Chains A and B, each alone.
Chain A
Amino acid sequence: MGFHDTFFKEEHMKKKGFATIVLLVLLMAGNAFLFAGGQQDVKSTAGDGEVTEIVYWQYYYETKKDLVDTLIGMFEAENPDIKVVHQTFPYEQYNTKVASSVPSGTGPNVINLFYGWLPTYIDSGYLQPLPQQTFSNERIESEFFPLVSAAKFEGSYYALPTAVRSLALFWNKDLFKEAGLDPEQPPRTVAEMIGFAKKLTKTDRTGNYLQVGMTLELRAQMHQWLREVLLRQMGGAPYSDDNRTVTYANKAGYDAFRFFTNLHLVEKIGMPNFMTDDVTAFKSGTMGMTVDGSFRLGTLDAVSTLNYGVAELPEMNGVKSNFASFWANGITSYTTGKQLEASVKFLEFLTSDTAMAMWLKQVGELPAKKDLAMKDEYRNDPKYGPFIRGLEYAVATKFIDENVQRKVWIDAWDEVVLNGVSVEAAVNQAAKTEQQLLDNYYNK
């Protein structure tokens, strides 16, 4: 480029540059005025006749959000002096979002939390015990499934669910037919399940899976299946009754984990991460059977090409077991006065029979109250029935940190499958890591 061009460009740019700067300064000044004042939530500390506003937080799930909006509409119609502000956040970052708001001492009045997170939030004083006059222990224990005791700490309940979840077996009827199996006959026992899975597995000539028999996804639900189902069927138990001691570093634990890893190493009926994850695999019709929760029904029904059935989890050695979990609503400890009254009312509404019945229909999660769930209409429902029947013998693991407690099994798998470590050593290592977590928590 010659000097001449440069000179003219420079002149031209000087003007342009100056205009840009003026614009910049104006914009900066504008910004500060426009936005610094901002819109703020007006929280009414209401006197008589005024409207009390409370804030409810949950994570975003389309049907849940829509249903809660409907429920809030019904609740506000019944209680014209209460206004509920409903805010939702992305699922994956929900816990981060909640935790980050805690140190500021502000946030929602009623909050939806995963039961496995409760110990942390209760310990820190973030939640207050539910008031005895409305939610007495006797009432809760007579109405709800016993598994809600996972929300009970030192004699008080801190949170209650609208709905609970359990696991069931999903099978692909078309693939069953193709493999020469009866598409209406799901496996009743674990042995049968493995036999079916072998027939459902397809590989190419070099042994790559084209289709897998069943899920082996520890990252999804199989770590629950391993911990609360398989281990118990092998005669063991994951933890001591007071939950303080890991109790699977023994024969039952080794047997269960050997059995599980052998499904991949010996039986060759699948692998983790096939098609990236088991939901994708089952949806795309390349997985014969999977283990999942009732909440998955909606996702699967949306796939028009998928023809599947749901059954209770297969039994083994005559033992039936299942894993249950739930999201529960608690009240934050900085909620007082009128807001507390309103929050208690709202929580009562969220745990009413009406709300639970609507929840089952629209979200696909099971009523948390025994009598309601066990109604014949629900018990014998072809899709919800297996989950509800499973609830009768389900256990809710008292997690301290579900991520860590899941990861010990994923790591144990990798040690055995990738590194050829013995099952015993891998299970012992998992038990050691998990015991450390429990000790840190209970000995604080």
Chain B
Amino acid sequence: MIRQKTASHSLELTKRRWAYTFLVVPILFYVVIRFYPTFYAFFLSTTDWDIVSKNKDFIGLENYRNLFSDALFWKTLGNTGKYVAYGLPVSLFLGFVIAYNIDRIRLGEGFFKAVYFIPYITSMVAVAWVWRWLYQPAPIGVFNKILMELELPQQKFLFSQTQAIFSILATTIWADIGFQMIIFLAGIKGISTQYYEAAEIDGAGNWDQLRYVTLPLLKPTIVFLIVTGTIRYLRIFTQVLNMSYQGEGGPLNSTKPLVLYIYDTAFRSFDMGYASAMTVVLFLIILTITLIQLRVMKSEE
């Protein structure tokens, strides 16, 4: 008994040694390539560096203090919140519905997968241009033309302070569905048919099967998609840069997300110190949300 214990103990030790061996190169990589530049950004957030000058004057927490009174910072933070709150649930829902239905058709599964995945692999610059045309006023814009034919009131889409953010979200979701769908589909295919057979014997209909078999067993997939999706939507940037003319995030900053503001501050106004301070805030926000999500996931396990 004791011998067995030491044997398993030494086995544990060997395994632990292997684990550290496996991690040596990656940890080195992450420290040099990722953590060091990240700490550099933390450091820059306490300076007034403007990229091109040699001086990085230490100004303490002034950048952070300025954030509090910067209306644009709060506005873009709010916009980012909107992108996450509206965009992620919709794209998750649509991604799931499409994956679920593709899984259940008899013919053309590969074809439909390709169709719904294509938007994800298409260049955002090109796509943004097409969507901008779609959103134009009638008779040029297709959407407004359809509304006109149906004798419905025309919409301003990208030119409206209230609609522009949703117009950009629609494009984002359109491009994002493919990503969600593929991972959902992988998860759904991973559920053994035995469960469904058992459920069928119990007389469960389609809805019950979905509710009591598919969704609970998809949980690891859903958790993964929620955590990475939240991060992705909090970092939303490219779409807005390309969808709004000259990447200004208009009209009146109503579509500008925080990362676009950070990018503008750093690379158009060269205020690297201030941009770094915003990056640190964004980092802390994402970290907090992720920790909460991981905790919730764990407690439910």
Contact = CB atoms under 8 A, between A and B. Distances in A.
Q: Do chains A and B touch in the complex (CB under 8 A)?
A: yes
Interface of A: 1, 95-96, 99-100, 102-103, 120-121, 123-126, 204, 206, 208-210, 219, 273, 275-277, 401, 403-404, 407, 410-411, 414-415, 418-419
Given A204-B138, A418-B160, 9 more contacts: A95-B268, A96-B268, A99-B51, A124-B52, A124-B53, A208-B138, A208-B154, A273-B245, A276-B129
B22 to A, nearest CB: 14
Contacts of B250: 410-411, 414
Closest 10 CB pairs of A and B: A124-B52, A124-B53, A96-B267, A102-B52, A414-B251, A414-B252, A208-B138, A99-B51, A403-B268, A126-B52
Contacts of B59: none
Nearest to B271: A440
Interface in B167-184: none
Interface string B33-69: 0000000000000000011111000000000000000
Contacts of B52: 99, 102-103, 120-121, 123-124, 126
B51 A100 contact: yes
Nearest to B137: A208
B246 interface: yes
Contacts of B129: 276
Interface in B125-184: 129, 132-133, 136-140, 144, 148, 154, 158-161
B267 A125 contact: no
B132 A418 contact: no
A305 to B, nearest CB: 18
> B161, B248, B253: which has the most chain A beta carbons within 10 Å?
B248
Interface string B258-270: 0000001001111
B137 A209 contact: yes
A411 B253 CA distance: 9
A1 B270 contact: no
B252 A418 contact: yes
Contacts of B252: 411, 414-415, 418-419
Nearest to A97: B267
A113 to B, nearest CB: 11
Contact of B139 (A95, A103, A208, A273): A208
Contacts of B161: 414, 418-419
A418 B251 contact: yes
Contacts of B248: 219, 407, 410
Interface string B102-140: 000000000000000000000000000100110011111
B95 to A, nearest CB: 24
A419 B253 CA distance: 14
B224 to A, nearest CB: 22
Nearest to B54: A125
Contacts of B246: 219
Contacts of A124: 50, 52-54
A102 B51 contact: yes
